[in-house]
Amino acid sequence: MVVGEFTTEVDVLVVGAGPGGYVAAIRAAQLGKKVTIVDSDALGGVCLNRGCIPSKALISAAHQYEIMQHSKESAMGIVAESVAVNFEKVQEWKQGIIKKQTGGVEGLLKGNNIEILKGEALFVGDNELRVLNGYEANRYRFEHCIIATGSRPIELKPFPYGKRILSSTEALELKEIPKSLVVIGGGYIGVELGQTFAKFGTEVTILEGSNQILPLFEKQTVQPVTKNLKKSGVTIETNALAQSAEQTDNDVTVTYKVKDEEKSITAEYVLVTVGRKPNTDELGLEATGVKVTERGLIEVDEQCRTSVGHIYAIGDVVAGAALAHKASYEGKVAAEAIAGQSSVVDYKVIPSVVFSSPEIASVGLSEAEAKEEGYKVSAGKFAYAANGRAQSMNETDGFVKIIADEETGLVIGAQIVGAEASNMIAEITLAIEMGAHLEDIALTIHAHPTLGELTMEAAEVALGHPIHKITK
């Protein structure tokens, strides 16, 4: 029985407190709106609690362990003895980071006088929804609403989540390092978590349906990652289609096909990472005029406005890449649109990052994509191995590649594979966003010795006058 239901009038109601929702709420509050935010889960959404932040914490810990474990083989002359992992402590450290992050979000929301509600949101009309929290339910009538409910891992029928078959959520919460792990799906989540557990000592096999892991990236960009995965003992099966699973109390056997050959493999756990599904099916949107596609995505215009003019949607519930930074960006646009500003989304460049070893980052067009769009391409590529800072870090795998229009020198894309690629991509993202040319990058004085010089060097290669590379 639901008790205590009454109706409250609110100005802007944000449904979902992830990186899209809480950013939208703060921006709306900055613009003078009275804002209420509701979420059934912890503040920060999947990103802070079960995705971006915890996964990067485990990735960092695994990387540190790998360096220490192989210190005897290092050319640096620093040797660590009796290196071991206390995985319980690793998980405690990870949870500590999550607590700081979510606490920070709560402080920001309260500091902007945003009302925080706990509960499940269910629309009952175009201007009203119910918030259910246990046996309590209250109605909220809103002038404007922003839907930012995110997504969840896709579950395959032959591989139902349970004790031995995991989504990324359960994998991040494991109490012990698995002895063996089969990863179904060689996209960025599968590669990141597979490589992480391999560094911790897990016997890992990745099954990928296409002809390479990380199929959205160019083959040459993926090669250094593939090399390091194999170096860590990871088995990679491409063109592999998972068929079925047989579970026992202690393990699970996966049957899969490579072309016409049927194979099987047994491991302690199976991790399924084949994509994510928008959280729109339990919002009661059928009680509204909000249009939803067959895939469950909400249709929006360039201001993130749905088919109901005062309801907006952002992040993983709308079309486009399921990225936290995209959601945050859209949240600002939606809040500003509600405040009467002329803000619109501009997806000219959205950087993509894989926190693998080495890291991969890309933005704009690849060389192949640029040629397909009719550009006469000027491409400049410079290797980490020739960079002094990379050598001093013992991180010489990888390269920076810049793509430009040969006729004008306009920078239109870049791919980076190597140490700190996730940070380095920001310079080229800004360059494309502001309409910079190769000369703008090449003539910018970059501090020495830094990895940032790789970007300058790649621009010089594209211009045809590199200093630190001999060309024919």
The pairing of strands 35-39 and 115-118 is: parallel
Q: What is the pLDDT of residue 14?
A: 98
Angle of the 52-69 helix axis to the 87-111 helix axis, nearest 10: 150
174 three-state secondary structure: coil
Q: What is the pLDDT of residue 6?
A: 77
Domains of the chain are 7-152+277-338 (3.50.50.60), 165-274 (3.50.50.60), 358-463 (3.30.390.30)
Q: What is the pLDDT of residue 230?
A: 96
Strand partners, 285: none
Instruction: Identify whether the C-beta of residue 128 lies closer than 8 Å to the C-beta of residue 289.
Output: no
According to DSSP, residue 315 is labeled G
DSSP string, 54-111: HHHHHHHHHHHHHHHHTGGG-TT-----S----HHHHHHHHHHHHHHHHHHHHHHHHH
In 79-213 the beta strands, taken as DSSP E runs, fall at 115-118, 120-123, 128-133, 136-147, 151-153, 165-166, 180-184, 203-207
53 three-state secondary structure: helix
Element (H, E) at 191: helix 188-199
Q: What is the pLDDT along the chain (472 residues), one digit of tens a residue?
A: 445 567 899 999 999 999 999 999 999 999 999 999 999 999 999 999 999 999 999 999 999 999 998 888 887 888 988 899 999 999 999 999 999 999 999 999 999 999 999 999 999 999 999 999 988 899 999 999 999 999 999 999 999 999 999 999 999 999 999 999 999 999 999 999 999 999 999 999 999 999 999 999 999 999 999 999 999 999 999 999 999 999 999 999 999 999 989 999 999 999 999 999 999 999 999 999 999 999 999 999 999 999 999 999 999 999 999 999 999 999 999 999 999 999 999 999 999 999 999 999 999 999 999 999 999 999 999 999 999 999 999 999 999 999 999 999 999 999 999 999 999 999 999 999 999 999 999 999 999 999 999 999 999 999 999 999 988 7
Q: What is the pLDDT of residue 73?
A: 83
Instruction: Identify whether the C-beta of residue 242 lies closer than 8 Å to the C-beta of residue 190.
Output: no
What is the spatial distance between Cα 363 and Cα 246, in angstroms, rounded to a whole number? 41
Q: What is the pLDDT of residue 66?
A: 94
Q: What is the pLDDT of residue 70?
A: 85
Angle of the 21-30 helix axis to the 324-338 helix axis, nearest 10: 30
CA separation, residue 134 to residues 1, 71, 120 (Å): 10, 53, 9
Residues with catalytic roles: 448
Residues 6+ apart with CB under 8 A from 286: none
According to DSSP, residue 213 is labeled S
Quickly tell me which residue has 């959601």 as its tokens: 327
Reference 418, options 347, 372, 361, 471; nearest CA is 361
Q: What is the pLDDT of residue 1?
A: 40
Q: What is the pLDDT of residue 134?
A: 86
Q: What is the pLDDT of residue 4?
A: 52
